[in-house]
């Protein structure tokens, strides 16, 4: 059934007189504003059942001389999701075919569905005298979390003529306060993601003239061989340097870290999966280590 036909049939149901045989009237005509049988009462209007299209008040066709609502946003966004603002700010653009037109008042309606905007179940600002059309704060009841709110607006021009209602748009609230969230954070165990400890690390360095505590800012090279018996299932190189390094296994680059003294990277060893680089038999590990500034220097590589 078309919207207009359904609407007329419903109004006829409330407005006809129920008469007894012979024309004697035995029942008073009900006032549709006070009926709860076919809708809910909000102030002075009745919310009709949801229709297939949003049912807004009919203000007549747009004549081109007055105002027309163009685009609109909620908190600078078009139909935002997960909005946590308690009073979202609504904005809309105005269009007119006449020079010098301006907004003198507006009316905003907010509902839980587009079909309820005729008689909103959340908030109706009523006609408010104002030229503001940017960042107009929502001023209705507290918003529920994880809820989609539909809204529409109309504006009055300088001659007091209302525009047609805008097409409905919406915003959706976020999770709300922490106490309203039922999700729990998950993460990997610390033992799997934490960097290896350097408390028991064995440090080596080039024999400097002033000792490793007073090493110059320079690059030193290290090379060592090791034997692997049997098939390699998994191999990991753990290496730290004060300050940076590049490591190779049998001439193939394994891992590297830039030498930046202020980062104290020596306290956070790097881990590199070198399973594909290590083979059964003799292997060679080569490291280019750089001390970024004069002072303590060291290198600590080990396998696991």
What's the pLDDT tens digit per position in 94-149? 999 899 999 999 999 999 999 999 999 999 999 999 999 999 999 999 999 999 99
Which pLDDT value is given to residue 87?
96
Which pLDDT value is given to residue 270?
83
Measured CA to CA in angstroms, residue 88 lies from 43, 110, 149, 218 at distances of 24, 12, 11, 58
Q: Does the pLDDT value for residue 189 go beyond 50?
A: yes
pLDDT digits over 16-67, tens only? Answer: 443 333 333 333 333 433 333 333 334 455 444 443 344 454 444 556 678 9
Measured CA to CA in angstroms, residue 23 lies from 17, 27, 229, 296 at distances of 10, 12, 111, 111
Q: What is the mean pLDDT of residues 144-170?
A: 96
Which pLDDT value is given to residue 181?
61
Q: What is the mean pLDDT of residues 267-285?
A: 88
Q: Does the pLDDT value for residue 198 go beyond 90?
A: no
Measured from the Cβ of residue 45, the count of other Cβ atoms closer than 10 Å reads 16
Q: What is the mean pLDDT of residues 194-212?
A: 74
Q: Does the pLDDT value for residue 238 go beyond 80?
A: yes
pTM of the prediction? 0.47
Q: Following CA atoms 94, 134, 73, 107 in sequence, which dihedral angle do they give, to the nearest 10 degrees?
A: -70
Q: Which of 55-59, 91-95, 290-294 has the lowest mean pLDDT?
A: 55-59
Q: Does the pLDDT value for residue 92 go beyond 60?
A: yes
Which pLDDT value is given to residue 20?
37
Q: Which of 13-27, 64-78, 156-170 has the lowest mean pLDDT?
A: 13-27
Q: Does the pLDDT value for residue 192 go beyond 60?
A: yes
How far apart are alpha carbons 81 and 79 in whole angstroms?
Answer: 7
Q: Could you give the count of Cα atoms lying within 13 Å of 77 in the half-sphere of its Cβ?
A: 11
How far apart are alpha carbons 105 and 171 in whole angstroms?
Answer: 23
Cβ pair 169, 74 in contact under 8 A: yes
Q: What is the average pLDDT value for the chain, to the nearest integer?
A: 79
Cβ pair 298, 208 in contact under 8 A: no
Residue ranges of domains in the chain, CATH in brackets: 37-177 (2.60.40.10), 200-303 (2.60.120.260)
Q: What is the mean pLDDT of residues 221-226?
A: 91
Residue 239: closest CA among 256, 216, 217: 256
Cβ pair 219, 290 in contact under 8 A: yes
């Amino acid at each position: 059934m078309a919207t207009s036909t359904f609407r007329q049939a419903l109004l006829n149901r409330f407005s006809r007189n129920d008469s007894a045989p012979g024309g004697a009237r035995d029942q008073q005509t009900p006032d549709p504003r006070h009926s709860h049988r076919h809708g809910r009462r909000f102030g002075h209007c009745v919310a009709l059942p949801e229709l297939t299209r949003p049912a807004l008040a009919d203000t007549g066709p747009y004549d081109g001389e007055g105002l027309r609502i163009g685009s609109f946003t909620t908190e600078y966004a078009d139909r935002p999701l997960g909005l946590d603002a308690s009073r979202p700010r609504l904005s809309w653009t105005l269009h007119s075919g006449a020079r010098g037109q301006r907004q003198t008042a507006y009316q905003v309606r907010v509902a839980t569905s587009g079909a309820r905007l005729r008689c909103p179940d959340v908030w109706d600002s009523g006609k408010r005298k104002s030229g503001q059309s940017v960042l107009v704060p929502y001023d209705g009841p507290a918003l529920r979390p994880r809820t989609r709110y539909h809204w529409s607006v109309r504006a009055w021009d300088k001659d007091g003529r209302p525009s047609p209602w805008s097409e409905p748009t919406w915003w959706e609230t976020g999770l709300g306060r922490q106490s309203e969230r039922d999700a729990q954070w998950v993460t990997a165990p610390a033992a799997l993601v934490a960097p290896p400890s350097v408390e028991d690390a064995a440090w080596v360095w080039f024999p400097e003239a002033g000792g490793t505590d007073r090493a110059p800012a320079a690059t030193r090279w290290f090379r060592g061989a090791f034997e692997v018996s049997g098939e390699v299932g998994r191999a990991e190189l753990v290496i730290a340097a004060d300050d940076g390094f590049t490591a190779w296994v049998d001439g193939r680059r394994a891992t590297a870290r830039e030498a930046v003294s202020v980062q104290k990277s020596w306290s956070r060893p790097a881990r590199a999966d070198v399973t594909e680089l290590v083979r059964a038999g003799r292997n060679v590990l080569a490291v280019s280590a750089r001390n970024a500034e004069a002072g303590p220097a060291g290198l600590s590589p080990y396998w696991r």
